[in-house]
Amino acid sequence: MLKIITDSAADVPKNEAEQYDIRVMGIPITVDGVSYRESVDFTSEEYYGMLTAAKAIPTTAQITLMEFADAFREEIAAGNRQLICVTITSRGSGIYNAACLAQQMVLEEQQSDGEEVTIDVVDSGSYTYVHGRAVVAAAKAAQEGNAQAALAVDVFAYSVKKFIGAYAAAMGGVDAIIFTAGVGENSTDMREHICQGLEYMGVKMDPEKNKVRGKEADVSAEGSKVKIFIIPTNEELMIAMDTAALCK
């Protein structure tokens, strides 16, 4: 059986976590000297009240290597032989690295026991429900089968194409298409899937140039009338700027 695991930064709604059997690991948060587990000891709505009443700025810590290892062992003991752990972006937290170390530790244990187990740790490259939505989609696909997962990819690419077409019509054309954030920066297949069928607009992608992940690049084919760029986001800067604006 397959089990999806994520951290509470994904903001997966409780009803969806229960419906799709997603294990959500709470991130430690300390408020006025008292330690809590996000999504375990309070809801998002309750946290805003705690934040307003707090005498000092709350602090967070990462989920530890041993906590991930224990979670992986528990799921394996429960009969789950394929684990997929999706974490908050590694650019903003050490949680991904902790999960990777736990993955290596537990897989070595399982190999010595002769168990056939797979553990995949995925860096979502994003925060909050941006990566939570991907977690829910993966869990739903796991329940419905791989054919449904392929359908989900097709539906997502189709919806993006509709947005591109709508904006191109509204603006009287388009000069460039920019892929960004978790999926746009990191999924070569999804970028290619989205651009397929847009040739009539002058969109031509270079498959070799498209073999890049997480860095700025021009992946347009020679002669493409519309430029295709990959531009990584900088969520940390935006969060800092928004926080500074709120504190003025």
Side-chain-side CA neighbours of residue 5 (13 Å): 29
State the Cα–Cα distance between residues 57 and 194, nearest whole angstrom.
42
Would you give the distance in Å from CA 90 to the centre of its chain? 10
Q: Does domain 2-27+62-147 have CATH number 3.40.50.10440?
A: yes
pTM: 0.58
Domain 154-235, CATH among 1.10.760.10, 3.30.420.40, 3.30.110.30, 1.10.3720.10: 3.30.420.40
Q: What are the mean pLDDT values of the chain's consecutive 10-residue runs (248 residues total)? A: 88 88 92 90 84 90 94 94 86 90 90 76 76 75 65 73 91 95 80 93 96 91 96 83 87
Please report the pLDDT score of residue 89 as a whole number.
84
The full set of domain ranges for the chain reads: 2-27+62-147, 154-235
What Rg, from alpha-carbon coordinates, does the chain have? 21
